[in-house]
Structure 1
Amino acid sequence: MSEFFNEVDEEVRREQLKKLWDKYSLLIIAVAVLIIAATGGWRAYQHWEAKKAAVAGDAFNKAIELSEQGKHAEAETAFANVAAKAPGGYRALARFRAAGEEASRDPKAAAKMFDAIAADGSVGAELQALARVRAAELLVDTAGYPEMKQRLEADTAPSATFHNSARELLALSAWRAKDATATRHWLDMIALDGDTPPGLRSRAEALQALLPPVAKS
């Protein structure tokens, strides 16, 4: 008797499945095709991205070779081409290298290139901060202290990635401007920071020795 009921249940299930298939077969087939197409498309996209990255890597390495050979103008052009066509990571690196090549010929123009990177939020906060410091390094001999302070003061906070470099540049700029008070302010920040690297601490002490003695009341 139980076998009879089992057969009946099986027949009912088959009938239900047939009705479902008749009703939704086109939808099921369409979904399956979409899944296959999406999987194939994703793999094709991954292959395309990997190919782009490989091409960009080769172009980037060739630009580095030009730089190492002293062909700075050609290297800058090559880095600019990578920056225009490469995926995100190589693009940012190439922009930095192109600005670095320009720095050997025209520091002010290179500083503008670094400023453009610093203003581009797509490169990330750390690279923006590095670009601000690089631009300031190129301008420290020509820009006035107020401009340097405007550029770098936010990067002197202890939590800032390049606070050591920013403080040193501001101390140097203030010293060049003959602003002893401002120079001492930045040198004191360097001296009191337990994380200051030894080399920077030594340079700060040397600059401190060049300042006139503090007047005693």
Structure 2
Amino acid sequence: MADIFHEVEEELRKDKYNELLRSWGPWALGAAVAIVLGAAGWQGWEYLERQSRWEESDRYFAALDLIADDQLLEADLELQRLTEEGSPGYAGLALMQRGELLLQSGDNESAGYMFEQAAEAFTFQAFADLARVKAAMALFDILSIDDLQNRLGETMQPERPYRLLAMEVIAAKAFAIGDYARAESEYDAIANDLDALTLPVAQRAQIALDLIRRIRATEGDTAEMPAEESAAETSSGAGDAPAEAGDEPMQFNLNMGDAADEDAANGLNVDSPALPDAAGLLNTETEDDGQD
């Protein structure tokens, strides 16, 4: 009797399994097929993306070769096409190179526009910050210090890679417009920044501070001198004594130092920051930038 009951239970169990298989089998099979097809599609998409990035890389470096061969018109046309057709990363790099070409031709305003467009195109934050700083440097003589502050405000946030250079742009603008108090404050913040202690930017800031303090001291001495004594000294010394550093208006921008103190000014020169190994970073920062 026990064997009969056991056989009945087995038959009932089989019937239940068959019913479950008929009900859920197609769904399970469909899910398995979907997973396989999805994995295959993802691999195919990644392959196509890599191929596209390689092609864009070839086009970008071909344009750089044209620049090296002094075929600037052809290079600019190829960079323009890459700007319109490329992924955000290579479109941004193409805009940066077009900006550099415009800087070389002396069209700083158009160069600044190109750098601003590059900052909008990049999704990799370091590249976007670099483009914003270069735009500010290109438009240095056009923009007010408030405009520069607004454009570079986010770039000067802690942990941003080009914040010290952005701070230096603001300090240089304050110096250029004769706001020596603000220039001294900005340069002092750079010189005492722990991240800048071993960098050339700290040395430039310290040289600028020394120069500004000499200028302010000279202006203070002149202001405190009695009017009669000042007039007498001017009339007696005119044409005999060499001009002091504070006698001539100070001229300063990111590419030229103070004409009144050539030795100190040489240390204040701030070259346009060089582009990093952009193509290499684009191929390694996939997760952050969204491209290979």
Higher normalized helix content (fraction of residues): 1
Q: Match of 2:119?
A: 118
Identity rate, percent: 24
Q: Match of 2:30?
A: 30
Q: Residues 89 and 128 of structure 1: is their aligned pair in 2 closer, same or farther, counting only changes over 3 Å? A: closer
What displacement does 1:4 show? Answer: 6.4
Deviations 1:140-178 (A, max 9, x none): 244343433333355445444322212222222222212
Which of 209, 213, 217 is the aligned partner of 2:216? 213
Distance 1:82 1:3 in 2: 80
1:98 partnered with 2:98: yes
Give yes or no for contact 1:133–1:166 (8 Å, CA) kept in 2. yes
Give yes or no for contact 1:77–1:98 (8 Å, CA) kept in 2. no
Deviations 1:79-99 (A, max 9, x none): 332333333433333333333
Give yes or no for contact 2:93–2:118 (8 Å, CA) kept in 1. no
Letter in 2 for 1:113: M
Give yes or no for contact 2:92–2:117 (8 Å, CA) kept in 1. no
Distance 1:204 1:72 in 2: 36
Distance 2:147 2:110 in 1: 17
What displacement does 1:114 show? Answer: 1.7
Q: Match of 2:255?
A: none
Give yes or no for contact 1:144–1:177 (8 Å, CA) kept in 2. no
Q: Match of 2:178?
A: 178
Distance 1:87 1:148 in 2: 29
Deviations 1:102-148 (A, max 9, x none): 3323221121122233345x624433322221111112244343433
Letter in 2 for 1:107: N
Which structure has more RCO (C-alpha within 8 Å, separation ≥ 6)?
2
Gaps of 5+ in 2: 225-292
Q: Match of 2:259?
A: none
Give yes or no for contact 1:114–1:132 (8 Å, CA) kept in 2. yes
Structure 1 segment 9-48 matched on structure 2, within 5 A = 9-48=9-48
1:204 partnered with 2:205: yes
Structure 1 segment 33-112 matched on structure 2, within 5 A = 33-105=33-105, 106-112=107-113
Letter in 1 for 2:116: D
SS at match of 2:92: helix
Q: Which moved more, 1:204-213 or 1:109-118?
A: 204-213
Letter in 2 for 1:102: L
Give yes or no for contact 1:76–1:99 (8 Å, CA) kept in 2. no
Q: Residues 92 and 21 of structure 1: is their aligned pair in 2 closer, same or farther, counting only changes over 3 Å? A: same
The 4+ residue runs of structure 1 with deviation greater than 4 A are: 1-10
Distance 2:47 2:3 in 1: 56
Give yes or no for contact 2:188–2:209 (8 Å, CA) kept in 1. no
Letter in 2 for 1:109: S
Q: Match of 2:192?
A: 192
Question: Alignment length, in residue pairs?
Answer: 216
TM-score by length of 2: 0.62
Please give the root-mean-square deviation of Cα atoms over the aligned residues, in Å: 3.0
Distance 1:42 1:24 in 2: 27
Gaps of 5+ in 1: none
Distance 2:96 2:2 in 1: 80
Distance 1:26 1:198 in 2: 66
Give yes or no for contact 1:92–1:123 (8 Å, CA) kept in 2. no
What displacement does 1:205 show? Answer: 3.2
TM-score by length of 1: 0.79
